[in-house]
Chains A and B, each alone.
Chain A
Amino acid sequence: MKLLLDKAHIEGIRYYDVWKKNGGYQSVEKALKMAPEEIVEEVKKSGLRGRGGAGFPTGLKWSFIAKPEGVPRHLVCNADESEPGTFKDRYLMEFLPHLFIEGMIISSYALGSNTSYIYIRGEYAWIPDILEQAIAEAKAAGYLGKNILGSGFDLEIYVHRGAGAYICGEETALIESLEGKRGNPRIKPPFPAVQGAWMRPTVVNNVETIATVSPIIMIGGEEYGKIGVGKSTGTKLISACGNLNKPGVYEIPFDLSVEEFIFSDDWCGGIPKGKKLKACIPGGSSVPILPANLLLKTAKGDTRLMNYESLADGGFATGTALGSGGFIVLDEDQCVVKHTYTLARFYRHESCGQCSPCREGTGWMEKILLAIEKGKGKLSDIDLLWDIQRRIEGNTICPLGDAAAWPVAAAIRHFRDEFEWHILNPDEAQTHNYGIAHYADPLEIAV
């Protein structure tokens, strides 16, 4: 069942006329006849969880927004999609801008935001043109501007382009950046819902989250909540990449098994050249990597499904997380040490440098991983890495510290033998990879 990408195949769907002809803007017309509180209620009933990675219930987040008399409120869309492995929001904005704009209008109306912003990562330099065109078209059709559809609700949407900083995907850093400052995350509290952009109550939501509000209004929150498995309601966009025959953006039902998603021809079509599956990071680079055996089945032996609960089954010891849906597959010829190093380099590069554990720790981990990768590591480096990530995790201002710590922790937890092989066979490690043999039984490793 497709709720978001059901019209993606239609020629010219990017443009207003085609979009409108195919049932576009019905959700806006329906929503503006409802009271804002009713929309919040529908979203609560839908069980929609934030699609940016943290999975926080969207309706609940909306209900936190403070409403002080006479102070404007803002909706800011987080389109700073920068998590390695994640490119689903780009797809939505590039190919279905009007779906997204519909979601923006309804969400702004629900939150009482008369000026809403789309903070898009600077590298997506051509997408603001697409969005601005869609906004202009919507405005010309009367869905934006003053007194929309006679509802008395005014709304302007502006696209704000960032300039290259992963950290601006963190909501308070995004707000700082929107205010024209360095992307240093704020120390919470106060939370954005109370004091956000320009000290006004602000809600920051991911692109996919906002786009999903449109189908929720169309089919009703209760109906939406019935789709899916347990607390994973609705559908989810997964951006699949790495070693796959058919990488790309897929809208999946939550009862799809991981195995089917990777190997079925309806989805990713398996791994190129018939190679074996070695490992996978299913939710964007920050979530724990899992070896094939734990990816396809949980530690209890159940089939692992593509949803929040099933992927998280077993905690970080034997599980992982759905995160942002950036699904990275490693085949048997890939080196986990090198892959972990590139991620550590990424987090060092993207650390804002504000708090000490992240600023210093990310660089330290990168250096050690590079040394191991280049055959200059020591066995004690593995425990040192473990110790460094442990002392970063949870001790930083924002979740970037955790995001940098978890991939390293998981790589050591599940692929310690590969690290040791790298260190003990430095010359061999320069010419070929460890392969997929002999995974340590992860259940035996203390966490």
Chain B
Amino acid sequence: MVQFSEDKLKKVNEIIARYPEGKQKSALIPVLHLAQNEFGGWLSPETMDYVAGLLNILPVEVYEVATFYSMLNIKPVGKYVLEVCQTGPCMLNGSDEIIQYIEDKLGIKPGETTADGLFTLKPAECLGACGYAPMMQLGKFYREHLTKEKVDSLIEECKAGTAKVDS
């Protein structure tokens, strides 16, 4: 059953109050972020319908938005999503090798999740860290100046559950 806690519901109402009255649809993307964090890292149809109900909008309006933005997952993902930037400036600094290295190390292709459900590899387009390339997003934070060694230790941290992905 998809249901925000009292605390989160308060947060939702706080977000809605930021926008003009009757324009509660504006809160959709922030609330979807909240829901994705809360309900397993992705937006199930049930979650989306729940959000539609909270904001008093049509379910299709939520589907339209959830499928448009690349950070909103409409399919289940691993516990840790390794989003490695592959656009121009990162490519110039060897992002292809980093992606290949992760593929080989975890035995998954871009877009796939490891069998243990721990990792998803998701090549990303420019994340705005071009000067600190190659880089990836892991949870809330950026991991920059990546090397194979850094990737190794990052994966170890994730496995040990010590990687910082949220504040």
The answer on direct contact between A and B (beta carbons under 8 Å) is yes
Binding site for B on A (CB under 8 A): 72, 81-87, 90, 115, 117, 121-126, 129, 156, 158, 160-166, 177-183, 198, 239-243, 247-249, 281, 285, 326, 328, 330, 334, 338-339, 342-343, 345-346, 349-350, 352
**Which of B101-109, B122-130, B155-163 forms part of the interface with chain A?**
B122-130
Q: How many whole Å from B127's CB to the nearest CB in chain A? A: 5
Q: Which residue of the partner chain, among A84, A177, A350, A352, contacts B29 with CB atoms under 8 Å?
A: A177
Q: Is the CB of A124 within 8 A of B130?
A: no
**Which of B5-13, B20-28, B112-120 forms part of the interface with chain A?**
B20-28
Q: Which residues of B contact A243 (CB under 8 A)?
A: 92-93
Chain B, Cβ-Cβ closest to A121: B128
Any chain A CB within 8 A of the CB of B149? no
Q: Is the CB of A182 within 8 A of B128?
A: no
Q: How many whole Å from A404's CB to the nearest CB in chain B? A: 13
Q: Which residues of A contact B32 (CB under 8 A)?
A: 163
Q: Is the CB of B133 within 8 A of A241?
A: yes
Q: Which residues of B contact A352 (CB under 8 A)?
A: 68
Q: Which residues of A contact B124 (CB under 8 A)?
A: 123
Q: How many whole Å from B25's CB to the nearest CB in chain A? A: 4
Q: Is the CB of B130 within 8 A of A346?
A: no
Q: Is the CB of B30 within 8 A of A82?
A: no
Asked, given contacts A163-B69, A165-B68, whether A241 binds B125 with beta carbons under 8 Å apart, the answer is no
Asked, given contacts A85-B130, A240-B131, A349-B125, whether A339 binds B167 with beta carbons under 8 Å apart, the answer is no
Asked, given contacts A84-B88, A165-B68, A349-B125, whether A180 binds B25 with beta carbons under 8 Å apart, the answer is yes
Any chain A CB within 8 A of the CB of B2? no
Q: Which residues of A contact B55 (CB under 8 A)?
A: 180
Q: How far is the CA of A87 from the CA of B132 in the complex (A)?
A: 10
Q: Which residues of A contact B87 (CB under 8 A)?
A: 84, 285, 342-343, 345-346
- The contact string, 1 if C-beta is below 8 Å from chain A, for chain B 63-91, is 01100111110000000000000111101
Q: Is the CB of B125 within 8 A of A247?
A: no
Asked, given contacts A125-B140, A346-B126, whether A242 binds B89 with beta carbons under 8 Å apart, the answer is yes
Q: Which residue of the partner chain, among B18, B33, B86, B89, contacts A241 with CB atoms under 8 Å?
A: B89
Q: How many whole Å from B63's CB to the nearest CB in chain A? A: 10
Q: Is the CB of B140 within 8 A of A126?
A: yes
Q: How many whole Å from B54's CB to the nearest CB in chain A? A: 12
Q: Which residues of B contact A334 (CB under 8 A)?
A: 92
Q: Is the CB of A350 within 8 A of B65?
A: no
Any chain A CB within 8 A of the CB of B141? yes
Asked, given contacts A87-B131, A179-B23, whether A122 binds B92 with beta carbons under 8 Å apart, the answer is no
- The contact string, 1 if C-beta is below 8 Å from chain A, for chain B 126-152, is 111111110001011100000000000
Q: Which residue of the partner chain, among A87, A117, A126, A346, contacts B141 with CB atoms under 8 Å?
A: A126
Q: How many whole Å from B17's CB to the nearest CB in chain A? A: 9
Q: How many whole Å from A115's CB to the nearest CB in chain B? A: 8
Q: How far is the CA of A289 from the CA of B140 in the complex (A)?
A: 33
Q: Is the CB of A84 within 8 A of B65?
A: no
Q: Which residues of A contact B57 (CB under 8 A)?
A: 180
Q: How far is the CA of A129 from the CA of B166 in the complex (A)?
A: 12
